Structures are given as structure tokens and as C-alpha cells.
Structure 1
Amino acid sequence: MAVYVSIRGWLECDREQLTQIKGIISKNAEGHYSGGWAFPGQPFNWTSYVFYGGDIQEGDTSWLHGQLEEISRISSSDSSMGVQGLFIATSEVDGAVEWQIRDGGIHVLPIPGELQYLGPE
């Protein structure tokens, strides 16, 4: 029986970074899980948000994690701020963790107490 991980979260970026993020996602498209990505219909103001939500077989989570690692290394051309974001990954077996996208990488941490409601039941 397959084990699933529910992964949901967002990335914050500027318009130039948004273009780069779309490129990374496009080159890693795989037809099924790629449908979980959502982009702003029309960017406005200075911050764009990119969302992902989906239930992925545990063995396939590296597909998404790899994209997020590459995305996390994108820097901004006009400031020192890179792409930032937060994802909650909830395994049917192993519980829930945060994937914090910041400082040019992914930091995996247990979810804090106030977010326990997002964990497995």
C-alpha cells in the first residue's frame, strides 16, 4: 500500500524571480503532480505568491523537494532577499514537518505546536 504525503504551501518572490520559478517548474513538469502548482493570474504590486497543494506518494516527494531546492537558490536582482516560503508536509506515517524556504535553502523542522492541527489525525 502506498504512503501519501500532503504537501501545501507557498513561495514569495518578485516578478523576475516569478519568471525563473515558472521556468524551473516547467522544466520539471511531469503531468500528474505538476497540477498542484498555482500562479497569480495577473501579478500586481511588488510581491508575487506561488502556491502548491497536493497529495504525493512518499517516494515521489523528492520530485517537489528538488524543485524547491533549486527555487530556493534564486536571488533577487535588486536586493539581497531571495525567494522565501513555507510548506507543510504531512505524512500518513511519519507526521508533519515544515519546509522553510529561506536563506538560499530548505530548512526542515518539526511543525510548532500551534500548527499541530495541520498534522495527521
Structure 2
Amino acid sequence: MGMYVSVRGWIELDFAQRPDAERIIGDDPYSGGWGWPAKPFNWTLYLFYGGDVREGALHEIRAQVEQLAALPPVDEDGDRPRGVFVVTDERGQARCWHVRDGVVLDVPAPDFTWLAI
């Protein structure tokens, strides 16, 4: 059957990046885990993800996060998407995906093992 992995987190975007983000998310089978605030406010747009998926499908979600991270800045400030995702599994392991500077860094997250399934 395979092991389940829980993925939850967010990425901060500029409102102008929303159409590109929607294209990246598309209608992938795991797109249902993505969600926007019902009533965005202030100047940052947060795109959230939460879902339990088979370990073999984790690469698909990671690919979406990498594409979102790589979105170019929309203004002269040069701000890139940034965020964090916590990934835990049934073995009790936890990792974090740190989104910054156009890339996704995968680091151990022992402080989050209490979130493991």
C-alpha cells in the first residue's frame, strides 16, 4: 500500500503572481490540498497546502513548490516567494522545505516530529 506523508505549509506570493501560481497548481490530482484565503487582505498573498499523500506522490507536490519558489520577482524590490512546509511521515520523521531565494531547501526538522502521523 505504501506509507502516507503529511505535507502542510504556506508560500508567500505577490498578488500579481497569483495567475502564474494557479497555472502551476493546475488540476493535478493533489491540487485539492492548495487553498487561498477566502478574503485576502493587506499586501501579501498566502497560498496554503495541507494534505496526506502516499510517499511516492511527494515528488509531485515538491515539484509544484519548486516551481512556485522559482517565480520571478514582480517589481524592483526583487522579493521572491518564500515560505515553509513541514513534511512528516508514519516513521515519525520530520523535514522542512524552506522556500527562499528561488529555491527549496530540504532540512531535517526534529522539533516537528510530534506532528508525525
- TM-score higher than 0.5 here? yes
Q: Which whole-Å deviations, capped at 9, do the CAs of 1:76-116 have from their partners, x for residues lacking one?
A: 22121100010000011361100011111100001153x34
Question: How high is the TM-score relative to the length of structure 1?
Answer: 0.86
Give the one of 68, 81, 102 matched to 1:104. 102
Question: How high is the TM-score relative to the length of structure 2?
Answer: 0.89
Q: Which one-letter code corresponds to 2:85 in the other structure?
A: F
Aligned residue pair count: 116
Q: Does 1:22 align with 2:29?
A: no
Q: What is the match of residue 77 of structure 1?
A: 74
Q: Does 1:46 align with 2:40?
A: no
Q: Which whole-Å deviations, capped at 9, do the CAs of 1:36-89 have from their partners, x for residues lacking one?
A: 110122332210101000001000011100111111111222121100010000
Contact persistence 2:92–2:113 (CA under 8 A): no
**Deviation above 4 Å: which 4+ runs of structure 1?**
none
Q: What is the match of residue 117 of structure 1?
A: 114
Q: Distance in 1 between matches of 2:28 and 2:79?
A: 30
Return 75-84 or 95-104, whichever deviates more: 75-84
5+ long unaligned stretches in structure 1: none
Q: Distance in 2 between matches of 1:91 and 1:107?
A: 18
Return 57-66 or 76-85, whichever deviates more: 76-85
Q: Distance in 2 between matches of 1:30 and 1:18?
A: 17
Q: Distance in 2 between matches of 1:63 and 1:21?
A: 15
Q: Distance in 2 between matches of 1:70 and 1:64?
A: 10
